[in-house]
Amino acid sequence: MKGAERGVTAVDLAKETHEATLLLCGGTGCLSSRAREVFTAINLVLAEKGLAGKIRVKLTGCHGFCEQGPVMAVKPKDYFYCRLEPEDVPGLIEALLSGKPYENKLYRLPGTDRAVGRKEDIPFYKKQQRLVLRNCGEIDPEDIDDYLIRGGYRALEKALGMTPEQVIAEIKASGLRGRGGAGFPTGNKWEIARNSPGSARYVICNADEGDPGAFMDRSICEGDPHAVLEGLIIAGYAIGARQGYIYIRAEYPLAVERLEKAVVKAGERGFLGRNILNSGFDFDVEIVKGAGAFVCGEETALIESIQGNRGMPRPRPPYPAVRGLWDCPTVINNVETLANVPLILNIGARRFAEIGTEQSKGTKIFALTGKVNNTGLVEVPMGTTLKEIIFAIGGGIKGGKKFKAVQIGGPSGGCLGEKHLHLPVDFDSLIAAGVMMGSGGLVVMDENTCMVELARFFLSFTRQESCGKCTPCREGTTHLLRLLEKITRGEGKKEDLERIEELSRNIIDSSLCGLGQSAPNPVLSTLRYFRDEYELHVEKKICPAGVCRNLLSYRIIAERCRACSICKKACPAGAIAGEKGKPHRIDPELCAKCGECLEKCPFEAIIRG
Amino acid sequence: MELLTVTINGRRLQVPAGTNILQAAEAHGIHIPTLCYEEGLTATGACRLCVVEIKGARKLAAACTTPVAEGMEIYTESERVVAARREVLRLLLANHDLRCLTCERNGDCRLQDYCYRYKVEDTPYEGVLREYPIDSDNPFFIRDYSKCIRCGKCVLICAEVNGAHVYDFMERGIDTKVTSAYDDNLQETTCTACGMCVNVCPVGALVEKSTLWEGRAWEIEKVTTTCPYCGVGCQLKLKVKDGRIIGVAADKSGSNRGHLCAKGQFGWDFVHSPDRLTRPLVRKNGRLVETSWEEALALTAARFRAILHRYGGKAIAGLSSAKATNEENYLFQKFMRAVLKTNNVDHCARLCHSSTVAGLATAFGSGAMTGSLDDLLAAEVIFLIGANTTEAHPVTGYRIKQAVRRGTKLIVADPRRIELVKYADVWLRHRPGTDIALLNGLAHVILQENLWDKEFVATHSEGFDEWRRVVEKYPPERVAQICEVEADTIVRAARLFGRARRGCIVYAMGITQHRSGTQNVMAVANLAILTGNVGREGTGVFPLRGQNNVQGACDMGALPNYYPSYLPVEDADVRRRFREFWGTELPAEPGLTVTEMMTAAAAGKIKAMYILGENPVLSDPDAAHVEKALKNLEFLVVQDIFLTETARLADVVFPAASFAEKDGTFTNTERRIQRVRKAVLPPGEAKADWEIIVALAREMGYPWKYPRGPEEIMTEIARCTPLYGGINYSRLEEGGIQWPCPTPDHPGTPRLHAEGFSRGKGKFHPVEHIPAAEEPDRNYPLILTTGRNLYQFHTGTMSRRSRLHQLRPHELMMIHPQDAAARGIKDGDTVAVASRRGEVVTRVQVTDDVPPGTVFMTFHYPEVPTNVLTNPATDPVCKIPELKVTAVQVSKAP
């Protein structure tokens, strides 16, 4: 049995002898749109037809094209199917056997009927460079052999043949910077931890991904858990740790399950535990589930949480690399950072460093969401412009609407408008623009997004997630939110804008941890780039995007009204009056501004202003 | 210490490396405001009021968490800094109950102070004030979180100093609130009522109940003094208003660093008890009746004179008091010796640490704690034996817990599962009365495994070979049998202690109160010499003295064989010096000890006794015998603050002043001489003990005069007491001084034997296991061992007249479930406990905190006079009674 055999060459190659392989996405997104039922249906049909030996179906990690889920790629012909349903399966298998694509569910270019057969021809994939996500969608994440066949744990083998110092030097040479948001050079962090005195050393994988709309880390953990584990083991070897932790949100049950399985499998194959690959290096990994506090993604709060305390950040310095978990030198790396590590050792620091920009090497994964056609997971070289990501890969704005802004870096990041579309996305360009990379959330907004409301939304999130330890964040975020709410309610005053700016500056300047220090970023960046919108709210009591309910009014254009009374029936507030044959009217006093009438009017006679 | 150069507000300053900006600035008189920083607690950087600007840094830095660095350029009041501070204050105000008019902390509130300093009159933010229910269920303080600013100091001090971990935060963001487990009222939690949270609270969220509505901050006078309970000698401030004490505040000048326990913080109200004696009493027609000072003094002098004349000084005995000041103890023994012509003077040290004085003096040359309490924090390992520190010496208990939290290893040897067992790396649960075997066994392993300090033993000790021959007879296997501890555990403990470079041995009455008490102490001393753990930082032998001034009472010569400074009575030269100094003839023969006095009184050999501030009827072993002895006297004078069980037997009772009503000094367990200050007037006609002794001496015809009071008495003490030679009150104003302090320019001695042992070389004493005098048998099958609980003190004279009483209102004998079941006893039942000498009735607590075969009782409750049971069998050297082992039987009370 495989369990008894150890090392990277002990692989069951029989799994590679199938004539065709179906790679059905088993990421959280696709699973929630019935991927598992599709999977069952495929297996049933294959069994019925006695094809199990010829055709293999794998439930893989996320393919990234979540918008189209459940998605499936078919090897070797590389057909790519979207929005699969169990009912599609018989036809699909039939097509497969006849060597043709299953036309029904091929990807179609938006707004056209044109089907694109092969995955690599789909614009969403064409412009990407999937290096860290190389295995996501390709392997069965619960099958270590799949990982090994694609070169898994070779990097670990290589690292164990080097000295820890050499490993650190390699990572330093690659120019890898932390993907968790701050962009600290990973190799330097490892070196500091290795050189700091301590009775033990620890390495922690930070998988406490908490930004609203971000799912990069979840997808990697779900789709390629061994890559994360391999990176963690290499990091442990490099800094001299014997114990590693993966701190992951309990809200990611699938990622947790796959990581747990990976830890067991890696242990069976001798990649974890005592005397790893006969190198004399011992290393164990424990998975710790977080209880759902956003702040536990902050590294010192994360440490407190692992130690069994309430997750509240502690002051830095001392930095965890000097004094972290149990007061010992501790490296905390984000999932994506660690997933880069095997890649670097495999292709070499020099080749890695050729990707990206001068100061930001490699690729970056973004979770592209919001009002964009192709929502999903995107990996591009550092330095790719926002425009390329949103339009070339993301397929532009939904419903043909106008692009307004993009929120980058989650609640700690900021908003960039149209004039920044040509901005290359790398650590330093973003900082220069007053925002930050963050962990990779990209929320696209169209013309119907109110920027004040957007800032309010992010503030309500950080306010709720403030741990309550330091005054500026604990009290300040609440008052900042209240001021924004005041404006969206239409009660804002001119001096409130100054108060908002001053309070924001003080929160940034004097908060204890990154959460507070960045919480006002969405407010300040929207104020900086969309100040006119705030001013309209405050001075004219207008919400130009038509979002802030208190600032809206609904009106019936008499010329267009056919007096059909549909709106009158639809109005829950009884605010619409009108007799048969006469144009109807909305009583602004009674109107609840729900927009129901506007939705229902067949003649577009109702407008919002 | 490495010094760094930094610039603060343009001033170039030298500051020690490793300090934070806040400390560095403060040391140079630059006050950076803070709400959450407290010296000694983890700097959390929570309030953000202490932010400063550092040139080159992107953001403001919290001064309390940022270490100074060479060349750092710091601005503590720049425009940006002030803006941030004002913002913090405005934010706090928006969420604060602003009923300052009636807030207890008005005028003594940090939030108020800083709003004033930064001219923050109001907040632009709409209030989000949370109204929380007030917790006022406990007897001591109220919790009003509408006034809480979430600085977290209460959470920290409870966790990091007390170790009770009562508080933490609940909820998040603006809803964050300090809470207890299940958000219960404190009485339902692990709270030990130490009140330290109240003392660190910067605002009015935690307020002592006793100060409520009693006065404004500026009307309250704070008098720094020394706690009157145990020997740790905590410094505290009495809050005084209109001649009454209304509360206690922390004082950081002592080694307690402002930390207190329930007794120090809340146990002071006995001072104003209606039970206080206010006028002298004399016995007329069998009843004690009030009288004038003139009559009481005249009567006493006349009776003493008559007995002295008829029987001589030998027929008179006196008990001095470990609760009274040094000055009073000095005068008392001087009175007994110079006026009543007897060396029959002793005090309760006989019952607690006479074996320490005897044992350590012969081994090291001094009978006192060798190090300072702070040494515990520097130890690699602490070996605690026979000391229930967290209840009997709570603030020292805090130190041990703090040390453990910082990495110090802890070995606990105790038959009971005391609180510190939770903190221990090794627990030796040995059988009561087997300490010598255990200590010899540890030494045996340390010798066997070559873990001893050969160089130290070679250069600093004598008697090693002879001792070694005895210890070789104590292999772990044999010790395991005697002590009922597994041999492996003994080996583990020995290795842990033997391998440490810095070890402390802490002990208390579990070692001393045995008939082998002196040998027990010697066994401790042997282990310390063997491992070279004396005289260096983080090392030492730490006998924890029980009473606030038991060290001082001994130092002052309230002992039958010593004059002040342990100068022997038997030494003719010494006697001559005191004769000349006091100007009168002095008796040559050493006097009787406490236990011997009682026997002599019962036998009719002692005719008169003068008892100052002691309650032997409850505190001494075989209480029935004591009562009989005292009743047998021709004349008994008792001087006390209450009509104690002993005073009820007296012919004359003098009403004395309490610690809060007089000046003087106490000497704590680490030899630190500290001031006691008069805060309020004594009630009625009560007088300070020293005044009464002086008046009595004058009545007896000795023209003693101390017009400048205790300060002048101390001047006299300094002249005849070499250990106190350099002590005077003006020096003590700056804080306590540890003896020996021979001259006014001597800084005091934190560590004895630093330059070699006081007696030259440390002496190994071969000591062998001696079984307890009374082993359990068929009729008395259980061992009774005695001690204290946290909330009461000794015979309860003080603590049971304070609010502390509510916390532990009655005795609860601890009995193992097995022993209880065998007798049909359930938790809370009432039982009869009998020994060969008597019987008491008590309620029980069924718990495996005591081992099978052992029961535990305190002696705090007059209604359960435990010492009716105990064995007066004494140590032949120091005459300490074996209070820790009594054979008893227990049965369910009918």
Q: Report CB contact under 8 Å: B46, A469.
A: yes
Question: Smallest CA–CA separation between A57 and chain B, in Å?
Answer: 46
Residues B255 and B166 in one domain: yes
Distance CA B844, CA B814 (A): 6
Q: Which of B539, B566, B583 is the last residue of a domain?
A: B539
Question: Smallest CA–CA separation between B417 and chain A, in Å?
Answer: 26
Residues in chain A, overall count: 609
What spatial distance separates the first Cα and last Cα of chain A, rounded to whole Å?
71
User: Most A CBs within 10 Å: which of B34, B48, B80, as the mutation test of the A interface?
Assistant: B48
CB A58 within 8 A of CB A254: no
Indicate the domain borders of chain A.
17-126, 144-353, 363-446, 451-540, 553-608
Nearest chain B residue to A460 by CA: give it: B173
Q: Which CATH class is domain A17-126?
A: alpha beta
- Mean pLDDT value across residues A394-422: 91
Residues B55 and B175 in one domain: no
Model's pTM, two decimal places? 0.91
ipTM of the complex, rounded to two decimals: 0.89
Residues B169 and B252 in one domain: yes
| CATH architecture assigned to A144-353 | 3-Layer(aba) Sandwich (3.40)
Identify the CATH number of the domain defined by range A363-446: 3.10.20.600
Distance CA A266, CA A147 (A): 11
Helix ranges restricted to H, B614-727: 616-619, 623-631, 689-699, 710-720
Task: Determine how many CB atoms are found less than 10 A away from the CB of residue B102.
Answer: 8
Q: Report CB contact under 8 Å: B44, A317.
A: no
**Per-residue confidence band for A3, with pLDDT thresholds at 50, 70 and 90:** very low
Burial zone of B708 (CB within 10 Å; 0-12 exposed, 13-18 middle, 19+ buried)? exposed
Return the pLDDT at B262. Answer: 94
- A370's torsion region: left (phi>0), alpha (psi -120 to 50) or beta? left
Question: Smallest CA–CA separation between B69 and chain A, in Å?
Answer: 12
Distance CA B723, CA A52 (A): 96
Q: Is the peptide bond before A472 cis (omega within 30 degrees of 0)?
A: no
Distance CA B44, CA B31 (A): 19
Give which of B776, B841, B850, B784 is closest to B816, Cα–Cα.
Answer: B850
Tell whether B45 lies on the interface with A, counting CB pairs under 8 A. Answer: yes
Give which of A62, A67, A33, A23 is closest to A376, Cα–Cα.
Answer: A67
Distance CA B266, CA B239 (A): 12
Domain harbouring B253, CATH code: 3.30.70.20
Residue B358, domain member (yes or no) = no
Helix ranges restricted to H, B605-687: 616-619, 623-631
User: Most B CBs within 10 Å: which of A312, A322, A509, as the mutation test of the B interface?
Assistant: A509
Residue B752, domain member (yes or no) = no
Question: Smallest CA–CA separation between B88 and chain A, in Å?
Answer: 6
The encoded tokens of residue B749 equal 């001695």
Give which of A299, A341, A340 is closest to A321, Cα–Cα.
Answer: A299
Which member of A464, A499, A510 has the closest CB to residue B48?
A510
- Mean pLDDT value across residues A162-188: 95
Q: Give chain B's count of helices (H) and strands (E).
A: 29, 39
Q: Report CB contact under 8 Å: B59, A479.
A: no
Distance CA B596, CA B584 (A): 27
Which member of B44, B60, B126 has the closest CB to residue A509?
B60
Task: Determine how many CB atoms are found less than 10 A away from the CB of residue B294.
Answer: 11
Residue A2: pLDDT above 80? no
Which member of B44, B150, B168 has the closest CB to residue A474?
B150
Residues B523 and B568 in one domain: no
Return the pLDDT at A13. Answer: 62
- Mean pLDDT value across residues B388-414: 95
Task: Determine how many CB atoms are found less than 10 A away from the CB of residue B175.
Answer: 14
Residues B430 and B466 in one domain: yes
Q: Report CB contact under 8 Å: B47, A471.
A: yes
Q: Which residues of B touch A461 (CB under 8 A)?
A: none
Q: Report CB contact under 8 Å: B126, A482.
A: yes
Question: Smallest CA–CA separation between A592 and chain B, in Å?
Answer: 27
Containing B114, the helix (H) or strand (E) segment is helix B110-117
- Mean pLDDT value across residues B786-793: 88
Residue B102, domain member (yes or no) = no
Residue B136, domain member (yes or no) = yes
Question: Smallest CA–CA separation between A595 and chain B, in Å?
Answer: 32
Residue B178: pLDDT above 90? yes
Overall number of domains in chain B: 5
Over residues B625-677, the pLDDT tens digits come to 889 999 999 999 999 999 999 999 999 999 999 999 999 999 999 999 999 99
Residues B637 and B713 in one domain: yes
Among chain A, residues having any CB pair with chain B shorter than 8 Å are 293, 310, 312, 314-315, 317, 463-472, 474-479, 482, 499, 502-503, 506-512, 517
* Cβ contacts of A588 within 8 Å, gap of 6 or more: A553, A575
* Cβ contacts of A276 within 8 Å, gap of 6 or more: A156, A160, A233, A270, A282, A283
Tell whether B41 lies on the interface with A, counting CB pairs under 8 A. Answer: no
Over residues A228-243, the pLDDT tens digits come to 999 999 999 999 999 9
Tell whether B22 lies on the interface with A, counting CB pairs under 8 A. Answer: no
Percent of chain A scored above 90 by pLDDT? Answer: 77
Q: Report CB contact under 8 Å: A471, B84.
A: no
The encoded tokens of residue B458 equal 């070679």
Percent of chain A scored above 70 by pLDDT? Answer: 98
> Furthest-apart CA pair in chain A: how many Å?
90
Q: Which domain holds residue B840?
A: 782-892
Residues B326 and B405 in one domain: no
Q: Is the peptide bond before A318 cis (omega within 30 degrees of 0)?
A: yes
For residue B808, CA distances in Å to A435, B210, B884 come to 61, 19, 22
Distance CA B51, CA A369 (A): 38
Residues B816 and B723 in one domain: no
Residue A609: pLDDT above 80? no
**Per-residue confidence band for B82, with pLDDT thresholds at 50, 70 and 90:** very high
Q: Which residues of B touch A472 (CB under 8 A)?
A: 48, 84, 87-88, 91
User: SS3 for B221?
Assistant: strand
Residue B103, domain member (yes or no) = no
Return the pLDDT at B809. Answer: 87
Buried b / exposed e over B764-802, threshold 16 CB at 10 Å, is bbbbebbebbbebeeebebbbbbbbbbbbbbbbbbbbbb
Residues B151 and B72 in one domain: no
Which member of A293, A479, A510 has the closest CB to residue B125?
A479
**Per-residue confidence band for B107, with pLDDT thresholds at 50, 70 and 90:** very high
User: SS3 for B535?
Assistant: coil
Tell whether B60 lies on the interface with A, counting CB pairs under 8 A. Answer: yes
Containing A601, the helix (H) or strand (E) segment is none
Return the pLDDT at A525. Answer: 92
CB B48 within 8 A of CB B35: no
* Cβ contacts of A257 within 8 Å, gap of 6 or more: none
Question: Smallest CA–CA separation between A463 and chain B, in Å?
Answer: 6
User: SS3 for A511?
Assistant: coil
The phi, psi pair for B879, rounded to 5°, reads 65, 25
Residues B623 and B711 in one domain: yes
Residue B507 DSSP class: E
Over residues A32-83, the pLDDT tens digits come to 999 999 999 999 999 999 888 889 999 999 999 988 989 999 988 889 999 9
- B50's torsion region: left (phi>0), alpha (psi -120 to 50) or beta? alpha
**Per-residue confidence band for A15, with pLDDT thresholds at 50, 70 and 90:** low
User: SS3 for B421?
Assistant: helix
Residues B821 and B868 in one domain: yes
User: Most B CBs within 10 Å: which of A479, A487, A517, as the mutation test of the B interface?
Assistant: A479
Strand B608-612 versus strand B635-640 pairing type: parallel
Question: Mean pLDDT for chain A?
Answer: 92
Q: Which residues of A touch B67 (CB under 8 A)?
A: 317
The encoded tokens of residue A501 equal 């700016």
The phi, psi pair for B162, rounded to 5°, reads -70, -40
Residues B722 and B817 in one domain: no
| Of the options 3.40.50.1460, 3.30.70.20, 2.40.50.100, 3.40.309.10, the CATH number for the domain spanning A553-608 | 3.30.70.20
Residue B745, domain member (yes or no) = no
Q: Mind giving me the DSSP string for A289-349? A: EE-S-GGGGSHHHHHHHHTTS------SSSPTTTS-GGGS-EEEEEHHHHHHHHHHHHH-H
Beta-bridged to residue A75, according to DSSP, are A21
For residue A566, CA distances in Å to A584, A588, A596, A599, B381 come to 10, 18, 10, 10, 85
Over residues B751-782, the pLDDT tens digits come to 999 988 888 899 999 999 998 888 899 999 99
Return the pLDDT at A4. Answer: 45
CB B861 within 8 A of CB B869: no
Q: What stretches of B544-695 adopt beta strand conformation (E)?
A: 562-563, 567-568, 608-612, 635-640, 652-655, 664-667, 672-676
Which member of B48, B83, B149 has the closest CB to residue A512?
B48
Helix ranges restricted to H, B683-735: 689-699, 710-720, 729-732
Helix ranges restricted to H, B270-315: 293-311
Question: Smallest CA–CA separation between B91 and chain A, in Å?
Answer: 6
Q: Report CB contact under 8 Å: A315, B83.
A: no
Q: Report CB contact under 8 Å: A468, B152.
A: no
Q: Letter for the amino acid at B774?
A: E
Domain harbouring B517, CATH code: 3.40.228.10
Q: Is the peptide bond before A86 cis (omega within 30 degrees of 0)?
A: no
Question: Smallest CA–CA separation between A310 and chain B, in Å?
Answer: 8
Q: Which residues of B touch A478 (CB under 8 A)?
A: 128, 173-174
Q: Which residues of A touch B60 (CB under 8 A)?
A: 509-510
CB A377 within 8 A of CB A216: yes
Q: Report CB contact under 8 Å: B51, A467.
A: no
Tell whether B83 lies on the interface with A, counting CB pairs under 8 A. Answer: yes
Q: Report CB contact under 8 Å: A499, B124.
A: yes
The encoded tokens of residue B247 equal 């509360």
Q: Which residues of B touch A510 (CB under 8 A)?
A: 48, 51, 59-60, 84, 87-88
| CATH architecture assigned to A451-540 | Up-down Bundle (1.20)
Give which of B648, B654, B599 is closest to B628, Cα–Cα.
Answer: B599
